[in-house]
């Protein structure tokens, strides 16, 4: 008989749901952060640097480095490693610092 952590604690998680990344459907699980859901879908970068346009994604995973900044539901500079995924969330690639319209 195979034992799993879920079975041992009698957990009954809610079903997965969908979020989108640049218009692409991505599955997410209850309790996952946006970064975890993106990683699980094989997406490793969701921001580009201001100088040079180099790809960035999660680095530290605990909200200290700011490499995981993303635009979430139209709001830039959200740390994807800290934001819990919610059904229908729309993540878009953030270019630079997320405030291009301010010309800073």
First to last CA, the chain: 61
CA 55 from centre of chain: 14
Domain annotation covers residue 26: yes
CA-wise closest residue to 80 among 32, 42, 8: 32
Count CB neighbours of 61 within 10 A: 16
**Is the pLDDT score of 97 beyond 80?**
no
Domain count, the chain: 1
β-partners of residue 75 are 72
> What range does the domain containing 84 cover?
16-96
- Determine, yes or no, domain membership for 81: yes
Residue 103 within any structural domain of the chain = no
For 2-45, how does the pLDDT look when each residue is reduced to its tens digit (9 = 90+)?
788 777 787 677 899 999 999 999 999 999 999 999 999 999 98
Cβ(44)–Cβ(80) below 8 Å: no
56 domain-assigned = yes
Domain-embedded: residue 53: yes
Model confidence at 104, in pLDDT bands (50, 70, 90)?
very low
Residue 5 lies in a domain: no
- pTM value is 0.79
Domain holding 80: CATH number?
Answer: 3.10.20.440
Indicate whether 50 belongs to any domain: yes
């Amino acid at each position: 008989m195979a034992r799993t952590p879920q079975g041992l604690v009698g957990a009954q998680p809610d079903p997965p749901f969908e979020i989108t990344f640049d218009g692409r459907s991505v599955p997410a699980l209850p309790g996952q952060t946006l970064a975890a859901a993106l990683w699980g879908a094989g997406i490793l970068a969701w921001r580009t640097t201001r100088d040079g346009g180099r790809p960035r994604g999660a680095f530290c995973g605990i909200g200290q480095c700011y490499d995981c900044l993303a635009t979430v539901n139209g709001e830039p500079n959200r740390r994807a490693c800290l934001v819990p995924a919610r059904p229908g969330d729309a993540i878009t690639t953030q270019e630079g610092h997320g405030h291009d319209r301010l010309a800073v």
